[in-house]
Amino acid sequence: MIVRLPRVHRAALVRALREAGEREIGGILMGEHVGTDEFRVASLTIQKRGGSIARFVRIVEYAISALTRFFHETGRDFTRFNYLGEWHSHPLFMPSPSREDDASMMKILLDEKVGANFVILIVAKLVEGDFVATAMLYTRSGRFPVDLALE
């Protein structure tokens, strides 16, 4: 699977990561299905509250509000535009999912209210000012690396 991260979204993430410093931040990813096993991040949120130096907690109401707006703006075309997953930072740790991250993604995946067939998690950080990230695909059969294409 390929997830494309457009320059405008990467730039927003870099700014937010700089501002957050050593505190974890995150948000949700909304995507566009652009090809077989290929998605482009069409929108994302940046939640600046709810993080410490070693943990990020998503504020569900904020995510639901952003999703509602996104679905309205995209005409509720759920086969083309939909919830893609989550992102958060690990400013003091490796930019890869922790066991807690894995458990959180599986909880979202298995939540029937969410109705997701898969969930993507991007874990990011700045290394000497450069954006570095890992993307993982979570399905009911496990987690798999995703090719994160920076546009």
Does the pTM surpass 0.85? The reply is yes
Q: Report the CATH number at residue 130.
A: 3.40.140.10
In a domain, 140, yes or no: no
In a domain, 79, yes or no: yes
pLDDT at 55: 81
Closest CA to 86 of 44, 115, 141: 44
In a domain, 54, yes or no: yes
Closest CA to 66 of 33, 28, 104, 32: 28
In a domain, 105, yes or no: yes
Partners of 51 in the β-ladder: 56
Closest CA to 42 of 86, 87, 88, 5: 5
Give me the mean pLDDT over the 128-146 stretch: 95
In a domain, 43, yes or no: yes
Q: Write the pLDDT tens digit of every residue in 8-61.
A: 999 999 999 999 999 999 999 999 999 999 999 999 999 988 777 888 888 888
pLDDT at 50: 79
Distances in Å between the Cα of 53 and the Cα atoms of 20, 90, 91 are 10, 8, 8
Report the number of distinct structural domains present in the chain.
1
Lowest mean pLDDT among 18-22, 51-55, 72-76, 120-124: 51-55
pLDDT at 90: 95
In a domain, 98, yes or no: yes
Q: Which domain holds residue 41?
A: 2-135+145-150
